[in-house]
Structures are given as C-alpha cells and as structure tokens.
Amino acid sequence: MAPLLELDDLHVAVDGTEILRGVSLTVTDGAVHALMGPNGSGKSTLAKTLLADPGYTVTGGRIRFHGEDVTDLGPAERAARGMFLCFQHPEAISGVSVTNFLRQAMATRKGIDDYSVLEVRMEIMQWSARLGMDDRFVKRYLNEGFSGGERKKNEILQMALLEPDFAVLDEADSGLDIDALVDVARGIAEVRAARPELGILVITHYQRILDHLPPDHVHVLVDGRIVAEGGPELARAVEEHGFDAYRSEAAA
C-alpha cells in the first residue's frame, strides 16, 4: 500500500530563489509528524507548497498523495482529494459567513453540488459542541474580529467538517496563550479520535504544542533541508539546545 504522503527530493523556489533544497519525507496513515526549524528555514514554504500556493514553484522532485502524483494539481484538486492546511495566520474575509464558507468547502470536498444549508448547520452544531465552541460565531464573517484563539479554533472546526486524510498544521500554536493552546490541542485530539487514520504534519518552532500533541516522528529543517530525524526525544533536544547544532549539517 502506498504511503499517505510522500515527498521525494522536493525543491521549491520563490521568486527565483531556491528555498527548499531536496526535502524527502513520508507520512503514513494516523501518524503525527513534527517539522521543526528556525525562522527562514523553509517550514511555511513547505506548508504552502503542499497545498499548491501559486507563489511557490516546484523546481524538482515530486509530491505523491495516496500514491498519486499531485505535484501539478491545484489547491482545489488537492483539497478535494483530502489534503488540508491549517494556516499560520488565517485570513479574514468580509461578507462571507463562516457557515457559507464551510458549506462551499464541504461541497467541494465531498463532491456534492447542492449541500443542504440545514445539514451543514447540523454538522457545525455537533462539532462546535464537541470542540467546546459557541456555535453562534459561525454566523459572523470568516475570521473578521476573531481573536487569535478563535481563528485557530475555526481552523480546527474546518478540519473536522472537511474530513481530510492529511492535515498540515502550520504553527497552530502561533500567537496563542497557554489556555488557548490547550483548547486547540484538545480540539485536534477530538478530530483525531473521530478520524484515527488522519495523518498530521505539525510545523512549529517549539516543543510546547508537542507536549499536548505527541509526535510519532520529528524532523528538523534548516536552510531548506531536513538535517535530523528521530522520535519525540529529538524535539526535546531541540528545545534544550536550539537549532545551531544542526546548521553545520545543513551547510554540508
């Protein structure tokens, strides 16, 4: 059986400058992978490349999802196949309610042309309760006036409702206080309980989210290359010693 996600010697450039310089990574069903690295290492570049952001150009290597080469597919096509990105800084969209946004996204993901508003609302209410969220906020415009914690919780709600097979959590802990972080981690755990086959790539600078979302595998990305791999103990070593110890590996 093919891996859930396979990155094979991936090279990515932005405005003609190479950022990722040969990243290879395999994620299997149900596994949590943590990708750690300093600012500028290419972590968010990888996240945006996985969801086909047009500003990021694959110049070498391939992306395979369930064994299918998706390197040349666009964002909607990858999302429809079950790939999901939890943004580091979710955008506010005035005039588009959370409910309407979710209805369109769910229709695309599930291949249903006319997704019932009532059915969408029922699913939102059920998952809002499971995630400990006030379901009234879904009547508001998408992320408009939301706190950092509300934006991240809304991303987790989207992940629950869209039922992806693979999710990238791009610095899901960014800008959160400890209480909001615990709430977000609890929400992720709730989604995983409902979908144990969900594969996750957690992108982060720090150990703290991994205390609540223990990884099966840890990868250290420095200067566009994965320079170290291991289990949860590697994340603790990074937290204790920093990334400087790995820079010489990146330069090799």
Any idea what the Cα angle at residue 45 is, between residues 106 and 101, rounded to 5°?
20
Structure tokens at 95: 């005039």
Q: What is the chain's Cα-based Rg? A: 18
pLDDT at 136: 67
Query: Which residues in 107-142 are b (16+ Cβ under 10 Å) and which e?
Result: ebbeeeeebeeeebbebbeebbeebebebeebeebb
Q: Which single residue is written with the structure tokens 């290879």?
A: 24
Strand segments (E) across the chain? 5-14, 17-27, 32-36, 57-65, 68-69, 83-86, 93-97, 141-142, 166-170, 199-204, 217-222, 225-230
DSSP string, 181-231: HHHHHHHHHHHHHH-TT-EEEEEESSSHHHHHS--SEEEEEETTEEEEEES
What domains, with CATH codes, occur in the chain? 5-251 (3.40.50.300)
pLDDT at 51: 87
pLDDT at 152: 80
User: Element (H or E) spanning 128, and its range?
Assistant: helix 117-130
Cα gap 152→78, rounded to integer Å: 22
The one-letter code for the residue type at 15 is: D
Instruction: List the chain pLDDT tens, one digit each, 252 residues.
Output: 789 999 999 999 999 999 999 999 999 999 999 999 998 899 989 999 998 999 999 999 999 999 999 999 999 899 989 999 886 655 655 666 777 777 877 877 877 777 777 788 888 888 888 888 776 666 665 555 566 667 788 888 889 988 999 999 988 777 777 888 888 889 999 999 999 999 999 998 878 889 889 999 999 999 999 999 999 999 999 988 888 878 766 555
Helix axis angle for 98-110 and 117-130, nearest 10°, is 100
pLDDT at 147: 67
pLDDT at 22: 97
User: Element (H or E) spanning 162, and its range?
Assistant: helix 148-162
| Whether the predicted model's global pTM rises above the 0.75 cut | yes
Helix (H, G, I), strand (E, B) or coil at 39: coil
